[in-house]
Structure 1
Amino acid sequence: MTLDHHTDSIQIVLEVVTDQRRRTVLNHLRTTDDDVVHLDELVNRLPHTETPAKTSPQPPSHRQGPSAHDQLRLELHHAHLPKLDDVGIVEYDPRSETVRYHPTPRLEKLLAFIETELE
């Protein structure tokens, strides 16, 4: 399924760009000179926010979860990049952890508008 097949449905594009992390990923992919970008490069371009610690009866030293960096990497790998891949905006290879951007005029205009007018 590619975005070109959904040109009649702006809802798909809007849903994809509502998430700040996905917009940041797309903006990086739009502006990079590289054809292919590694997942780690994307992780390093996004702000890391700590997730609140979960309540647990264990002492704090035993409650250590993934770091903010690792959590972000997991979110990109399992959620954001597959979603972008499903609609054809990117081609994500989970084995090599590489991303290739497939721009469309509609998406480019929308991202430019959001960047200049709304953020």
Structure 2
Amino acid sequence: MEDMIRMLADAPEEQKLQMVTERVKMIAGQPDDQRVQSVKSMVIAISKLDKKKKGPFHDVRIKAIMSLSPEEKTAMMVARAKAVPDLPEDVDKEDTKYVFASVKEYPEEMQKAFMVALKNAFDVAGIPMPDMP
């Protein structure tokens, strides 16, 4: 996962979005435990990118997830929530910060829908939702 993320971080924007969308769609279809591990691996891999590449990559990841079907989107959000206990705290906090920053760029209705879906995902995962920075 780390090599793929590093390679994609340098790819042209359109190619990056297409490939990340394909990847998150594939991850969304995995069995639950495997999906959680894949999401965890993706979050950790993104955390290892150069600072200037992280923000744009998070934007692409969120855009890719937002393009999924409602079921796939929920599966990815629940997996991300379930990955929290297995992530280093600094990686989780940084990822959360970038996710919320990306979501703030969306129209207000999409922001609200995302936040409702995220809260539901954390509820399903049985993990308290982090405060929005």
**TM, length-normalised to structure 1:** 0.32
Larger Rg: 1
> Which protein, 1 or 2, shows the higher relative CO under an 8 Å CA cutoff with sep ≥ 6?
1
Report which of the two has the higher share of strand.
Answer: 1
Report which of the two has the higher share of helix.
Answer: 2
**TM, length-normalised to structure 2:** 0.29
